[in-house]
Amino acid sequence: MDAIDYNLILELQKDSRRSNRQLARLLGVSEATVRRRIRDLVDSHTIVLTAIPDPSMVGMTMWGLMGLQVELSQVDAVAEHLTSYPEVYYVGICSGSYQILISVMFRSAERLAEFITNELAGVPGMIRTDTLISLKAVKRTFGWLQPDASSLVRPA
């Protein structure tokens, strides 16, 4: 990835609805270059172009993180199994007190309780869950790439 790609991603994070022409002007490159770079970034799975709804606006009122203690021999199988639940949007294998960390969103506390007691409890290898519920979102962003002064493109 070069400076143009990096800065293109930064600009798309700010507002992905801008036209290729506007992006080209900002970056000091041609519109064809922007179009090709976006296509290449998508094709290489470097970026995903998607709409990210506000969970509360679409009825997802329960957001949380869950630390899962799992039998070491079952970590990969449990992690793979967890990917099948639509309410689970992040699964990570980690070190520390928990072997797996998941992020979840549910429409209700009842559905969350059902997920923990009926579904997770039945997963082979599951030892213990620790659930942290978010009471209030103070910052919610998915544009985490930050400007890097060494790679900034200066318009010609």
Domains 3-51 and 62-133 share a fold: no
3-51 folds as: Arc Repressor Mutant, subunit A (1.10.10)
Q: Would you state the CATH architecture of domain 62-133?
A: 2-Layer Sandwich (3.30)
Q: Are 93 and 100 in contact (CB under 8 A)?
A: yes
Residue 56: DSSP 8-state: G
For 43, counting Cβ atoms within 10 Å of its Cβ (0-12 exposed, 13-18 middle, 19+ buried), the class is exposed
Order of strands, edge to edge, in the sheet holding 62-70?
88-93, 100-106, 62-70, 126-133
Tens place of pLDDT per residue across the chain (156 aa): 899 999 999 999 988 999 999 999 999 999 999 999 999 999 999 999 888 888 888 888 899 999 999 999 999 999 999 999 999 999 999 999 999 999 999 999 999 999 999 999 999 999 999 999 999 888 887 777 787 755 555 554
Kindly list the domain boundaries of the chain, sorted by start residue: 3-51, 62-133
